[in-house]
Amino acid sequence: MKKIDPEDFRVPRGKKVDLDKWPTRVKPVYHSEEEYQTLLTEHIHELSEQQNRLYADDSYALLLIFQAMDAAGKDSAIKHVMSGVNPQGCQVFSFKHPSAEELDHDFLWNAARKLPERGKIGIFNRSYYEEVLIVRVHQDILDAERLPKALLDSKHIWRGRYASIVNLEDHLHRNGTRILKFFLHLSKEEQRKRFLKRIDERDKNWKFNIDDMKERRYWKDYMKAYEECLSATSTKTAPWYIVPADDKSTTRLIVSRIILDTLKELKLEYPKLSPDRQQELRDIRKLLVKRG
């Protein structure tokens, strides 16, 4: 197995991102399908143990953000990597077109209501970052947000939103929420192949939407929006990871390794009992053994 170094995929703070220079495919980190399954299973077991510690420690929360173009594998990455996590300690939210209620609030309001509690893992399948991605590509969505006209200066609105996002994430970090942000970097050609597969295989037809083809026409606009977003919002405490997504198996192993390393760095521990509590448990145990 090739060692996975998270730093290979991390966007350094202040680095100007050119996605053409970031690979969508790397040499597999496994040698066979059997080894891949073994490695993923090991990661899943380790994640389960770390989640138990996170819940018991009850000091930190973990927020995982997944962004990508259509068919990049966000859903499958979440499904496979988090398959061993206790559902009671994990919450998954998908961000879709804003409701009327959301449009009457600031762009971070909805996300703030869905942040994970201490001891839990929150997963955003797409996120508030849509407000500087799809909203930037489609001006009509921004118009529907009914912002004061004085605030719609195109030279400043995106810079302001980047600043709001970074400030929010800094605030969350200072209060115990650790944030990992994954951009699953898919090539346009691989997206084409996956769209064809969704059409050709009947059991995958439900995954295909004509809107996916419409959005594909804006590929260059999205890449520009992602480049500026990743450059402006990857920080030391809330980093972006650009994960090659043309090979789903490698994607899953990279993502799970990064999550595991982050949790292990927290040095999570199960609560330590006081001597009196330990004695109480010993006394209870004696009663249980004696009475059967």
- What average pLDDT does the segment 173-202 reach? 96
In angstroms and rounded to an integer, the radius of gyration of the C-alpha atoms of the chain is 22
Do 243 and 185 meet the contact criterion of CB atoms below 8 Å apart? Answer: yes
Q: What are phi and psi of 33, to 5 degrees?
A: -60, -35
| Model pLDDT, residue 42 | 96
How many other C-beta atoms lie within 10 A of the C-beta of residue 149?
7
SS3 269: coil
C-alpha 255/C-alpha 183 separation (Å) is 10
User: What is the pLDDT, as a whole number, of residue 292?
Assistant: 62
Supply the pLDDT for residue 98.
Answer: 79
The residue with greater pLDDT, 70 or 144, is: 70
Do the beta carbons of residue 12 and residue 234 sit within 8 Å?
A: yes
pLDDT tens for residues 134-148?
999 998 888 888 888
pLDDT higher than 90, residue 107 = yes
For the record, the structure tokens of 12 come out as: 């350094």
Instruction: Identify the pLDDT of residue 172.
Output: 98
| Residue with the larger pLDDT of the pair 63 and 286 | 63
- The more confident residue out of 154 and 87 is 87
Domains observed in the chain = 6-291 (3.40.50.300)
Q: Would the CA dihedral through 247, 248, 251, 256 be positive or negative?
A: negative
The confidence band for 165, taking pLDDT boundaries of 50, 70 and 90, is very high
- Residue 69 is encoded by which pair of tokens? 């173009």
Residue with tokens 């009850």: 58
pLDDT value of residue 70: 95
CA–CA distance, 62 with 174 (Å, rounded to integer) = 13
**Considering the chain, what percentage of its residues have pLDDT values greater than 90?**
75
AA letter at 7:
E
Question: Residue 9 has what pLDDT?
Answer: 98
Q: Is the pLDDT of residue 87 over 80?
A: yes
Q: What is the pLDDT of residues 257-280, one digit of tens each?
A: 999 999 999 999 888 888 888 889
Residue 1 is predicted with a pLDDT of 61
